[in-house]
Amino acid sequence: MQGPYRIPGALQPFIHTQTMVVRSPGRINLIGEHTDYNNGFVLPAAIDKAVYVAVDKTGGPDCRLHSVDFNETVTVPVADIKPVPGHWSTYILGVVAQLKGKGFIVPGFSLTVYGDVPLGAGLSSSAAIECATAFALNELFGFGLSRKELALLSQKAEHEYAGVQCGIMDQFASLFGKKDNVIQLDCRSLEYTYFPLELKDAVILLLDTQVKHSLASSEYNVRRGQCEAGVAMVQAKHPFVASLRDVTLAMIEECIPAEDIVYKRCRFVVEEIIRLQEGCLDLLGGDLHAFGQKMYATHDGLSREYEVSCRELDYLVTAVRARPEVTGARMMGGGFGGCTINIVKKDGVEGLVSDLTASYAVEMGKELKSYLVNIEDGTSVIKG
Ligand code: GLA
């Protein structure tokens, strides 16, 4: 199958006649943060930054993995796969382990990976590499798994090999992305609808704090635990409640003491689930102003109630708030670094980036990076 996506030049030396190449993109999320593992809704889209894997059958007993970005090769017997915490290969090995765990016989293969999703920027480079690997091995060996099964398997690889108890958003967005569309995903049922993102004269601009979210995995798991603790408190009085998706603001007031840290964590999530549903109506009705205001409200909640922001993210959101060319902005993804997502009028982008680059260097002492992103299709075979 030949799609519209090209094989990056950096991968060309690793491609032979039989090689299959799979592209799997990073993602943005317009609104609905930290709601996926609470069975709420999210509104992600796949982007024009992606991970590519080139795979071949080798017939031997090993997986031979090569990273173009790290210029490193590792060879691991398929029979003896273990997590390698902090190493790029762990995401690939995690997927192989999941396939084996499902009872598939995984023959030897070679896999070369290259990507242009900035690492640690909150654009889900890890989900992209997991989904690229899962999709490629599924095609190469004909395991017959569906996209949904591949998303769930990749999420488990992240849990078990990367140690992050993530929700389903990133893997789902990478696999199910559709050009120019956002995905409204119900993380409880995994039902989803696409709708075209019509931003009129505006574009999506990501501002990268250049703070790598190193705290993210441990604090992320702590937040997840706090949400579960909140659900348990509510369940004492409302036994039908299974997750924060079923919880109302009134139940929080009734069941969780306001001075408990769990109170503000759960309040944020319940508010965010409501905000996303209202935000979708804004987008469908073309009311970008109302949507932008909700993005700011999400940021405030993530910063003050959920406490997953950082100085640099707060700085960037505060700095754009009063600018008329910006419709809305907030931190995006797990937090503690990475990017803000901004909806900005096309003709205001250049001036905004130039002003912010200068002030960010002075105030935060770091170089600001910015990316204009387009919404693209999800995972596919680009050479097979
Ligand atoms: C990370 C996780 C996702 C999601 C976001 C926050 O990206 O991988 O599952 O929880 O954080 O919305």
Residues in the chain, overall count: 384
| Closest ligand 1 atom, residue 124 Cα | 7
Q: Which helix (H) or strand (E) holds 284?
A: helix 261-284
At 322, which amino acid appears?
A
pLDDT (average), residues 372-376? 97
Q: Return the minimum-mean-pLDDT range out of 151-160, 208-217, 221-230.
A: 208-217
**CB contact set of 119 (below 8 Å; sequence gap of 6+):** 125, 212
CB atoms within 10 A of CB 160: 16
Q: Hey, what's the torsion of the CAs at 36, 37, 39, 41, to 10 degrees?
A: -10
pTM score, whole prediction: 0.97
Max intra-chain CA distance, the chain? 65
**What residues line ligand 1, using a CB cutoff of 6 Å?**
33-34, 36-37, 124, 166-167, 169-170, 333-334
170 among known catalytic residues:
yes
- For the stretch 176-196, pLDDT in tens is 999 999 999 999 999 999 999
Residues 6+ apart with CB under 8 A from 276: 31, 32, 35, 40, 41, 42, 43
Smallest CA separation from ligand 1 atom 2, residue: 166
Tell which atom from ligand 1 comes closest to the C-alpha of 167: 9
What percent of the chain has pLDDT above 70? 98
Of 311, 308, 340, nearest to 326 by C-alpha is 340
Ligand 1 atom closest to the Cα of residue 42 is 12
**CA 33 – ligand 1 centroid, Å:** 7
Record the tokens describing residue 340, joined without a space: 């803000």
Span from the CA of 218 to the centroid of ligand 1 (angstroms): 13
Q: Which of 36, 170, 314, 377 is catalytic?
A: 170
The residue whose CB lies within 8 Å of the most ligand 1 atoms, and thus the one to mutate among 126, 131, 165, 170, is 170
**Chain segment 264-274, per-residue pLDDT in tens:** 999 999 999 99
Other CB atoms within 10 A of residue 86 CB: 8
Distance 105 CA to ligand 1 centre (A): 31
State the pLDDT at residue 1. Answer: 42
CATH of 202-372, one of 3.30.70.890, 3.40.50.720, 3.40.50.20, 2.60.120.10: 3.30.70.890
pLDDT band (50, 70, 90) for residue 120 = confident
Which atom of ligand 1 sits closest to the CA of residue 127?
8
* CATH architecture of the domain with range 9-197+376-383: 2-Layer Sandwich (3.30)
In the reported structure, the alpha carbon of residue 379 is separated from the centroid of ligand 1 by a whole-number distance in angstroms of 19
Nearest CA to ligand 1 atom 11: 334
What count of Cα atoms within 13 Å lies in the side-chain half-sphere of residue 136? Answer: 29
- Strand 62-67, strand 72-77: pairing: antiparallel
For atom 9 of ligand 1, which residue has the closest CA? 167
Q: What are the start-end ranges of the H helices in 113-260?
A: 125-141, 147-157, 169-176, 216-235, 249-255
Ligand 1: which of 30, 35, 36 to mutate, most ligand atoms within 8 Å of CB? 36
| CA dist 282 → 29, 277, 327 (Å) | 16, 9, 13
Q: pLDDT per residue over 247-261, tens digit each? A: 999 999 999 999 999
C-alpha torsion 155→161→164→169, nearest 10: -20
Mutate to test the pocket of ligand 1, among 47, 168, 169 (most ligand atoms within 8 A of CB): 169
* 310: pLDDT strictly greater than 90: yes
| Interval between CA 29 and ligand 1 midpoint (Å) | 9
Ligand 1 closest atom vs CA 168: 9
Q: Which long-range contacts (CB under 8 A, 24 or more apart) does 148-154 make?
A: 148/190, 150/175, 150/379, 151/175, 151/176, 153/95, 153/98, 153/99, 153/102, 154/95, 154/98, 154/127, 154/130
How far, in Å, from the CA of 42 to the mean position of ligand 1?
10
**167 pLDDT more than 50:** yes
What strand order describes the sheet that includes 20-29? 72-77, 62-67, 109-115, 44-57, 20-29, 380-383
Ligand 1 atom at minimal distance to the Cα of residue 220: 11
Which of 166, 217, 228 should be mutated for ligand 1, with most atoms under 8 A from CB? 166
Query: How close is the Cα of 347 to the center of ligand 1, in Å?
Result: 31
> What pLDDT shows up at residue 214?
65
Per-domain residue ranges of the chain: 9-197+376-383, 202-372
- Scan for tokens 């769990």, then name that residue: 262
Q: How sure is the predictor about 2, in pLDDT bands with cuts at 50, 70 and 90?
A: very low
Q: At what angle do helices 169-176 and 147-157 cross, to 10 degrees?
A: 140
Q: What is the pLDDT of residue 11?
A: 97
